[in-house]
Structure 1
């Protein structure tokens, strides 16, 4: 038998070099990034190629045997460079800089240098192919111009915004199709989700009516809601403000019908206010009496009873992907068309379900859940038009966009910059009762991630090291869900100086009624734990259709957070300035 060659020691570094040489002989890798280039020393230009999020395999079959592009309406943003990703990782080790109350005040300056793409001029004589070429050419020129602004010295940093032309076409169609536009914003970040250019285009160019809906007012301190309302009334005098609460903590007990009635009644109050503003606009041109009667009937019924009595034949929902421009007639056939537009994850679907009186569209915290616009008839004379949420060009940092819900957390490659921003607004170590790990001298985003990983048991499989990425991801998801104490909110300019004025404002009582929560007493015969404030009972209605594998904010993951009373209380009595 021939003698075998003696085995020599083989280091891990040499093995990596061997694998790298093997990959280079096969050509550029498909899925792996090359490690030859140093991130910090690289002078390569940053790539601006669009990155399609949540991409699915191309479907070549289907029921009709025709190719179907399932990724046509996916969100698209600019890809980060390798150097940016490495710098974001290093930034996670920097100490936290706690912000002052004045630094939490924001205005519309993020949109100063940016407008949004509108449909280019068109003619009824043009063919569909000509319109398509014209819109593609216009959108490419628009994006190129924004990128040139980004490179200029005087321009502020350009944030990630929607790069999918198909999504913008949905907006154009809804703007043309609707008589009254509902601009839904998350009141926690009011000015960050309200482009002034959109307001000017609707009011001054299209000559149409608009209503701004402050959604999730039950998550924000009531004095901040009042201050935001007055800020919008002063800056946008032709824009009425309506309050709406799509988030209300649900009962821990399965049979909590009282909580469902309370939630439904508050939602219907917001719906009735929208009806009153629409009635003020249309006057006698459209008969809205049937809609008013429907709202009153829905107010008298339990939400669960409405769901039980639903009949399939009652729903009139039509989805459309035809975005061809059409000259729309005002109140066509005596029908009022209400369009719903806004950023991703602001609660448009929840508002539509409340307007309809029952669940007719699915909701999710994942941005891009609604793919194309759809029309829903409330009555024979009133119909809704839902538009996919999209991100407008602005100078909002990407780290903040993640906390706004505009960018999917599941697609976030480095979460530490967003976590650092959150920790500078909210005292996370105090809130979660964390202990500084031994390897750190002071708190940073990575230190918070490691501490939360130790506390929750998020450890890697082989080395049992803290899974800091999973821990950071988990905290960001809890913030996005708005789970009680973990609420990030901003304030209008001058809020801190006038805080006492807003605390005594007569409109404060109107806002507080949206935030009173009746918590049920725990069953004395059970040992159910009621000490968690970040449990699954605090989830909003927008998490119902999200896959549980993508959302780790379950009841067993929220142990060790501050206790809360079990009686009726306002959720903001426990919030204090950091």
Structure 2
């Protein structure tokens, strides 16, 4: 009888490498021999559960930084901060979306192609698309973008099915979330209508919201722009201030439908369909449900949710088919697509999470018998948007960061964090570095490592970044020319319209108007971060630095 083969030692490190290689086995870029290729990481990888054939089919994939880049960034975290002027906080979207950079579009197909042929064609196209980007001059400056073909396929399905595309962006970073190539493709190539939703308008001054609308409408003729917030004033327990002038907003236990934003989306759709679809049931729904209160923690209703899967591989679009208006919802992760859909529906129909990539596949939900919504998974479009901004936008999971100090620097150079957080320098010095900011916050909050009881710098950095993502530390960027034309936007008629959508009370409006005049100054009223009562598990919306102390002025 032949002797069995002797088992060779297998270390834990080798096992980890084996699992990592297995995760990336089907990644199209793994076979690339280009010198520009980087390691790829799945940021929302799920262990395969029993009964689930492919739990990671839609896992988000990004390029990982090299060890050399990581080392340089950690060394840079010890250097002093260089405050940025308010003028430098204006951004021109054209700088981040060059004409040469576009998103992957579905290659031509017909009904004679088999599923295998269609898959092979799309795989080949996507591989060539990535190779072309790697060969371009913009490759070295490009930030994280979606590398999973399956996620892009979800976008292709939604673009094919929808009659109107609803693009949702966070108004704090509106110019960096609106890819012009998507507008060109939908409006000019597919001849469809597009609505841009400026979401989370409760986090920035009304004048900035109006400025972004004017800028984007001038840049994209025919684009309809509407405002939205899932936190109107009547769903909050009012504003209160502590001894430092902190503005803390807490959600009520019982919520009402966000009728103001839903009404504006309805009006935009009415202008588009021009009577070809009966939208009276949608209008009645808003009127009826705007007065009904619901519990924010209610279970997700799935009775009217239809999960579209492989049967969407072959779909021929027919405008307003069977008298139904199909609205596609597209946006980057954490921009608030699911929250917007829940707000429009008047109840929870889509589960919500702060983790990018939470929505794995697009979902079709009937708002009324004549209106259906298609929620596409959040995906990051190719761009030159700086990585710190992508992290602050929520496009990249904070928990997956290997080096948070670069983002802390970006934040601290535009906001006076020591004053906002009311913390002292850990070394009693006068100059601050990103590392000092994190150490100071760890000392104030009592974040210590388990074994050595040293300041837990990484936990402090994670806490600060989550506060910025939630709007507790509020950073927002301006459109070009906002500083010179501030007075114009602060007195325009659009202000009243924005405040109506925000559903603010008269007292809050007067308070906001008073603070907006000092939005570029570091005054005492800028101490708007609840440093003492901040908690990772606390259900509240603390708007830090909402209208004041938004930037250093040189």
TM tier relative to shorter chain: 0.7 to 0.9
Which whole-Å CA distance do the structure 1 matches of 2:551 and 2:486 have between them? Answer: 13
Q: Could you say which residue in structure 2 is the equivalent of 1:48? A: 38
CA deviation string 1:199-237 (max 9, x = no partner): 000001111011000000000111100100110111112
SS state at 1:425 partner: coil
After superposition, the Cα gap between the structure-2 partners of 1:557 and 1:297, relative to the gap in structure 1 and judged at 3 Å, is closer
Q: Could you say which residue in structure 2 is the equivalent of 1:345? A: 334
Q: Could you say which residue in structure 1 is the equivalent of 2:256? A: 264
Q: Could you say which residue in structure 2 is the equivalent of 1:111? A: 97
Matched, 1:463 2:452: yes
After superposition, the Cα gap between the structure-2 partners of 1:407 and 1:431, relative to the gap in structure 1 and judged at 3 Å, is same
How far off its partner does 1:461 sit? 2.0
Contact residue 74 and residue 368 of structure 1 kept, 8 A:
yes
Structure number with larger C-alpha Rg: 1
Which whole-Å CA distance do the structure 2 matches of 1:557 and 1:259 have between them? Answer: 10
Q: Could you say which residue in structure 2 is the equivalent of 1:503? A: 490
Instruction: Give runs of aligned pairs for residues 428-577 of structure 1, distance below 5 A.
Output: 428-438=417-427, 442-483=431-472, 486-513=473-500, 514=502, 516=504, 533-534=529-530, 553-555=536-538, 572=546, 574-577=548-551
Equivalent residue for 1:233, pick from 217, 226, 237: 217
Contact residue 182 and residue 211 of structure 1 kept, 8 A:
yes
Matched, 1:98 2:89: no
Which whole-Å CA distance do the structure 2 matches of 1:536 and 1:293 have between them? Answer: 45
Equivalent residue for 2:272, pick from 273, 281, 293: 281
How far off its partner does 1:312 sit? 6.5
Which of 1 and 2 has higher RCO (CA within 8 Å, sep 6+)?
A: 2
Equivalent residue for 2:226, pick from 242, 264, 279: 242
Q: Could you say which residue in structure 2 is the equivalent of 1:41? A: none
How far off its partner does 1:403 sit? 0.6
Structure 1 unmatched ranges of 5 or more: 1-22, 34-43, 520-530, 539-551, 565-570
Q: Could you say which residue in structure 2 is the equivalent of 1:296? A: 287
Q: Could you say which residue in structure 2 is the equivalent of 1:81? A: 66
Which whole-Å CA distance do the structure 2 matches of 1:45 and 1:404 have between them? Answer: 30
CA deviation string 1:529-552 (max 9, x = no partner): xx99549999xxxxxxxxxxxxx6
How far off its partner does 1:58 sit? 2.5
Which whole-Å CA distance do the structure 2 matches of 1:211 and 1:45 have between them? Answer: 40
Equivalent residue for 1:184, pick from 162, 168, 181: 168
**What's the C-alpha RMSD, in Å, of the aligned pairs?**
3.3
Which whole-Å CA distance do the structure 1 matches of 2:361 and 2:540 have between them? Answer: 34
Contact residue 438 and residue 457 of structure 2 kept, 8 A:
yes
CA deviation string 1:502-528 (max 9, x = no partner): 111111122234173789xxxxxxxxx
Deviates more, 1:383-392 or 1:320-329: 320-329
Contact residue 377 and residue 383 of structure 1 kept, 8 A:
yes
After superposition, the Cα gap between the structure-2 partners of 1:45 and 1:447, relative to the gap in structure 1 and judged at 3 Å, is farther
Contact residue 133 and residue 139 of structure 2 kept, 8 A:
no
Contact residue 168 and residue 199 of structure 2 kept, 8 A:
yes
After superposition, the Cα gap between the structure-2 partners of 1:458 and 1:26, relative to the gap in structure 1 and judged at 3 Å, is closer
After superposition, the Cα gap between the structure-2 partners of 1:425 and 1:333, relative to the gap in structure 1 and judged at 3 Å, is same
Which whole-Å CA distance do the structure 2 matches of 1:139 and 1:318 have between them? Answer: 28
Q: Could you say which residue in structure 2 is the equivalent of 1:39? A: none
After superposition, the Cα gap between the structure-2 partners of 1:422 and 1:385, relative to the gap in structure 1 and judged at 3 Å, is same
Which whole-Å CA distance do the structure 1 matches of 2:83 and 2:342 have between them? Answer: 39
Q: Could you say which residue in structure 2 is the equivalent of 1:394? A: 383
After superposition, the Cα gap between the structure-2 partners of 1:301 and 1:76, relative to the gap in structure 1 and judged at 3 Å, is same
After superposition, the Cα gap between the structure-2 partners of 1:385 and 1:241, relative to the gap in structure 1 and judged at 3 Å, is same
